[in-house]
Amino acid sequence: MTTIKLVAGEWAYDERSPLGPAGGFGEVFSGMGPDGPVAIKRLKIGAAAAAHRELSIGAELAGRTFDHVVPVLDFGQDANSDRYYLVMPVCERSLQQEIAAHQCLSLGQARGVALDVMRGLEEVGEIVHRDLKPGNVLFHQGRWRIADFGIAKFVEDSTSIDTLRESLTPGYAAPEQWKGERPGKPTDIYALGCIMHAMLRGAPPFAGDLDNVRDGHLHRAPPSLDEAGGRLAALVSQMLRKSPASRPSLERCLSVFSEAGTDVGPENEHLAAAAQVVAAKRAAEEAATAERLAIDREWAGLISEASAEYENMVERVMTTVRNFSDEAVLDGRTLSFGEGKLGFTRLSTVQRAAEGPNLQHSRWTVALFGAARVQVANQYTFGATLCYAKTPSDPNFRWRELSFFSWSGRGGGRSEPFDLPPDRDFDFALAPITHSVQLAHGPLTIDGEDEAGFRNRWITLLTKAATNSLQPPSSLPLQDGYFR
């Protein structure tokens, strides 16, 4: 037995009794403490690399009581060596062991595990795990709990990015981690999406050698998780978006899963002061440029991914109609069916604001927009704007549908409801002010778990138009029954 002395006391562990396989950041052994058996994790990093840095998990988590996080009994650097340790209670099994024993879990089991993990992430607030994986999800006292909070942050603060990359678990590492970018709460959301694949399919979404896994996380779309069912499968797909900004929030995931310098002499003091000002200005400019480039890359990635999602949603609408009738004729993005036509416009991008939302009155941030229109025999047209945006009440970028009308009679000869680009009228209509243009319906989220409603609405409108029975609404804003 090896004895170690940490912050709270002395512990002993047996190197011949590992608890599971070694991980990227360390290995766990069976140990003993004053009150009986414990699990002791020995980190791979030593004091030479960590420069005797404090293991911050102690200050943040030790001594606190959680329902969905494995308790931290002791932590820190052994007083008699250069190794770092973490002491935890002995847990019954890991999620990795559960998956290995059963190959895959049922949807109900996977959903229960995911909810426990989400509640653990919720309990710790803004702390980011950074290395969420089945091996760090442990069953203890009747529920699944998250272990090893803070270890990845400790290694990140103590080592080079290359060393950190080597320690990460490839199958569950988010794109921003592969790129050496700062992780955040969306990083854990991504890892949980990978865990869902592992639970329901027995493996994370990207497999193969390290290069293939890395390429998958950075550039390839994950396979559809049909085993989760339509709503959850759609949400998991969004959890695995490449851009952190476009992943769903923890709150939304919970909701959906719950529901379905050099010294100088005095003579050079003025030159030194000037040099300091110039250096500070240059540093600020370089920092601003680096930040702008990073944001631009993220924005471009967000637009690329959202554009592909739009095209896929349009294709699914068209395919559904054509599968039901050989009379439906597709020409580009326009589908003709009887007396009706359903068309989707090409997307246009919206310039990103330097700071904050790009629509100042409504406080919306719109990245892309297009339109959907149903026309009856070249006469009445029902239109709606489709935009990829986040709103003051929803910080997630989502595809949204909304239509407009003009109560002042200044509709410009357009049928109502009509679509608008994200211009002044669009902005004012969504703002809490009086304006001649108002919302006719929406905004409704139409991607992910809400895509079925979007598809049904537009197929219903086309079906009515096909038989020349689609009429302008008798009143605006629209009532729900209009789409039945």
pLDDT at residue 356 in the model:
86
C-alpha closest to that of 84 among 74, 76, 92, 72: 76
Cβ neighbours of residue 286 under 8 Å, at least 6 residues apart? none
Q: How far is Cα of residue 84 from the mean position of the Cα atoms in its chain?
A: 32
Q: What angle do CA 261, 266, 269 make, to 5 degrees?
A: 55
Beta strands 365-376; 348-349: pairing state: antiparallel
Beta strands 26-33; 10-18: pairing state: antiparallel
Tell me the three state secondary structure of residue 122: helix
Structure tokens belonging to residue 182: 């700062």
Which residue type sits at 275?
A
Structure tokens belonging to residue 431: 């703002």
Tell me how far apart the terminal alpha carbons of the chain are, to the nearest angstrom: 72
Residue 143 CA neighbour count, 13 Å, CB half? 16
Residues of the chain with CATH 1.10.510.10: 2-258
Q: Which pLDDT tens digit goes with each residue over 47-67?
A: 554 444 555 664 566 667 889
Cα distance between residue 409 and residue 412, in whole Å:
8
Cα distance between residue 181 and residue 178, in whole Å:
8
How many CB atoms are located within 10 Å of the residue 22 CB?
12
Please list the ranges in the chain whose pLDDT falls under 70. 24, 45-63, 150, 152-167, 261-288, 290-291, 408-414
Structure tokens belonging to residue 221: 């779309």
C-alpha closest to that of 442 among 376, 382, 357: 382
Beta bridge partners, 337, equal 340
pLDDT at residue 51 in the model:
43
Q: Which pLDDT tens digit goes with each residue over 296-318?
A: 888 899 999 999 999 999 999 99
Quickly tell me which residue has 């240059």 as its tokens.
282
pLDDT at residue 401 in the model:
98
pLDDT at residue 52 in the model:
47
**Class of the domain covering 2-258:** mainly alpha
DSSP for residue 346: P
pLDDT at residue 160 in the model:
45
Query: Structure pTM?
Result: 0.78
